[in-house]
Amino acid sequence: MAKRRGNNEGSICKRPDGIWMAQVSVGYDLVTGAPKRKSFYGKTRKEVADKLAKALAEVKNGGFVEPARTTLGEWLDRWLTGYKAGTLKQGTYEGYELLIRVHIKPALGNIPMAKLQANMLQAFYNEKLANGRADGKGGLSTRLVRYLHAVIRQALQQAVKEGLLQRNVADATSPPTIKNKQMRPLTEAELLTFFEAARDDRLFAAFLLAATTGLRRGELLGLCWDCVDLEHGAITVQRQLLSLKAGQVLEETTKSKAGKRSVTLTDDAVRELKLYRKRQLQERLLMGEAFQDNGLVFCKEDGTFLNIQEFTKRFQRWLEKAGLPKVRLHDLRHTHATLLLKRGVPAKLVQERLGHSSITMTLDLYSHVTPEMAKLAAESLNGLLSKRKDPAKAQGG
């Protein structure tokens, strides 16, 4: 026989249907004064005993969550600080917090967690797709709405694990399929026109490196001289510059595991980096003690971080002066990949240069180049039969 539990320790029993159940007092009704009890269910006694022990500890510490009264907004705050702080990169954590504060809480935050339904979430996703931008200028991208779904689903899943909810209603929704933004890579002629216009810019080497290596913006501006080997013409990507609430931060990690990589430089890039290095050393002499040595390749004249947004605007100003269409700085990365693929460079090598986690990602992003790659492959075999030996000649006839 199981040992009898004392007062305030809760109770555990096995129902006739074989399911184990635990109950514990979690306080008193403020109106009637009657005790409020919480039930937990599981397939084994140990499972419900663990849930009961956790609930008892939370009651003791004043941290028990009552789903009927706790709103989704309150739970999201608790989940974010209690389960995600310290486990995510700072940039990712701030991204979660922004999504919750700007998008989720204003629309769903006041709904009691226990009353949240799948149709409410689906209506939320649909509305965000249609009119979700904070500035009122249209809807959010499919990718961002998927992020919203992921955040909500993770938070509710934790509530299910704790026995606060019996099921995760987010699993019953249909979030949108991600549609990648329409990319606009520069053509080779346009790229050369841009280079000609921006040739005398102090940061010309940065623009050239972006187009000839495919580095992401944060990777480019987070590049340090200790990762540049001008003798062998290569760089190692292992840091990124992030724009956080605390300001510009150099993070000792890349966007993904595949992002940490070695990239071979073109001869043009090596030459321009050498010229830029000489210029930077001269600036350092002129600044004297005012120069802040952060080891950065691309920085302000005093050695401090470049502003990420200002660097993008600088790029777009040169596009305008060159009479070229306005594209994102990120489109130089697409330009790099597209030019390589059109030259017949294997997609696997392009994947490695870009730091994509899988070749599928590379092929999906650049599917528009695939027909040209197929044509190149076929053309490479043209005239194959003409190279065969004439049987008659081979026999000396």
Q: What is the pLDDT of residue 391?
A: 59
Does residue 227 sit in the same domain as residue 335? yes
Residues in CB range of 322: below 8 A, 6 or more apart: 193, 194, 196, 197, 198
In the numeric block, which tokens belong to residue 134?
A: 């904070």
Q: What is the pLDDT of residue 250?
A: 87
For residue 148, is it within any domain?
yes
Task: Let me know how long the chain is.
Answer: 397
Confidence label for 2 from pLDDT (cuts 50, 70 and 90): very low
Please report, rounded to a whole number, the percentage of residues in the chain having pLDDT higher than 70: 88
Range of the domain at 53: 11-60
Does residue 55 sit in the same domain as residue 81? no
Number of domains in the chain: 3
Phi, psi for 248 (deg, rounded to 5):
-75, 130
Residues in CB range of 212: below 8 A, 6 or more apart: 265, 266, 268, 269, 336
For residue 141, is it within any domain?
yes
Does residue 321 sit in the same domain as residue 198? yes
Which residue, of 172, 197, 232, is where some domain finishes? Answer: 172
Does residue 115 have a pLDDT over 60? yes
How does pLDDT run across 306-356, given as a tens digit for each residue?
999 999 999 999 999 999 999 999 999 999 999 999 888 888 999 999 999
For residue 283, is it within any domain?
yes
For residue 355, is it within any domain?
yes
Q: What is the CATH number of the domain that holds 160?
A: 1.10.150.130
Gap between the Cα atoms of 197 and 307, Å rounded: 22
- CA distances to 204, 269, 287, 296 from 235, rounded to whole Å, are 17, 11, 27, 13
Task: List the alpha helices (DSSP H) in the chain.
Answer: 45-60, 72-79, 90-99, 105-108, 118-131, 142-161, 188-198, 204-213, 217-221, 267-287, 308-321, 331-342, 347-354, 359-365, 370-379, 391-394
Gap between the Cα atoms of 37 and 40, Å rounded: 10
- CA distances to 58, 224, 227, 238, 325 from 213, rounded to whole Å, are 53, 15, 14, 14, 22
pTM for this one? 0.69
Does residue 203 sit in the same domain as residue 307? yes
How does pLDDT run across 322-331, given as a tens digit for each residue?
999 999 999 9
Does residue 194 sit in the same domain as residue 316? yes
- CA distances to 45, 49, 59, 260, 362 from 8, rounded to whole Å, are 19, 14, 10, 54, 59
Over residues 133-153, the mean pLDDT reads 92
Does residue 153 sit in the same domain as residue 193? no
Does residue 213 sit in the same domain as residue 268? yes
Query: Quick count: other Cβ atoms within 10 Å of Cβ 267?
Result: 9
Does residue 112 sit in the same domain as residue 218? no
In the numeric block, which tokens belong to residue 351?
A: 């994947």
Does residue 126 sit in the same domain as residue 255? no
Q: What is the pLDDT of residue 266?
A: 96
For residue 94, is it within any domain?
yes
Does residue 272 sit in the same domain as residue 371? yes
Does residue 168 sit in the same domain as residue 304? no
Query: Quick count: other Cβ atoms within 10 Å of Cβ 224?
Result: 17
Confidence label for 175 from pLDDT (cuts 50, 70 and 90): very high
For residue 356, is it within any domain?
yes
How does pLDDT run across 232-269, given as a tens digit for each residue?
999 999 999 998 887 888 888 776 676 789 999 999 99
For residue 230, is it within any domain?
yes
Phi, psi for 243 (deg, rounded to 5):
-105, 105
Q: In this predicted model, which residue has the larger pLDDT, 24 or 298?
A: 298
The DSSP string of 358-370 is -HHHHHHHTGGGH
Phi, psi for 229 (deg, rounded to 5):
-115, 90
Q: What is the pLDDT of residue 11?
A: 87
Does residue 96 sit in the same domain as residue 147? yes
Mean model confidence pLDDT for the chain: 87
For residue 179, is it within any domain?
no
Q: What is the CATH number of the domain that holds 266?
A: 1.10.443.10
- Maximum CA pair distance of the chain? 113
Q: In this predicted model, which residue has the larger pLDDT, 149 or 85?
A: 149
- CA distances to 11, 169, 332 from 328, rounded to whole Å, are 62, 38, 8
